[in-house]
Amino acid sequence: MEKKKIVVTAGTFDLLHPGHYETLKFAKSLGDELIVIIARDETVKKIKGRKPVIPEEQRRIMVEALKPVDKAILGSLKDKLEPILKIKPDIIVLGPDQTTFDVGELKRELAKHNLFPEVIKVKEYTKCPFHSSFDIVKEIVRRFGGCKK
């Protein structure tokens, strides 16, 4: 029996939008199983300077419910490489706005652990009015920021 080709991608996936879906669909097209690592709330706060709108477990559940995704897991609070080292993927897909990892740096770090997956960076954003969670939040504030209950 042939070994399954495992693909991993990671991100915050705070407010889901078509860009998330397109990246996940692309990642799934590269292999047999897609595992998505969801950034922890604490990690998002460190990287983006704010907590995500949606709590980590809810984000994990929503991403796992998407058709291309076979499994979604929460990332590590100790070491961002920990889930990747456990999964040992054949391919890692980085989203177009992924800043946590640089392709070369990620390859070098994984090579230290004797892991040599192909690392692919998605180059283009999905063209749509709300292609980022931040844009969605800005629009909500614009529309409802002055509302009183």
Q: Is the pLDDT of residue 63 over 70?
A: yes
What is the overall mean pLDDT for the chain?
92
Mean pLDDT lowest among 19-28, 72-81, 128-137: 128-137
The C-alpha angle 75, 40, 81, rounded to 5 degrees, equals: 30
- Predicted pLDDT of residue 147: 64
Mean pLDDT lowest among 64-68, 87-91, 119-123: 119-123
- Predicted pLDDT of residue 16: 92
Q: Is the pLDDT of residue 123 over 80?
A: yes
Catalogue all structural domains in the chain, each as residue range(s) with its CATH number. Answer: 6-145 (3.40.50.620)
Q: What is the pTM of this model?
A: 0.91
Residue positions in the annotated binding site? 12-13, 17-20, 97, 125
Q: Is the pLDDT of residue 126 over 80?
A: no
Residue positions in the annotated binding site for ATP? 12-13, 17-20, 97, 125
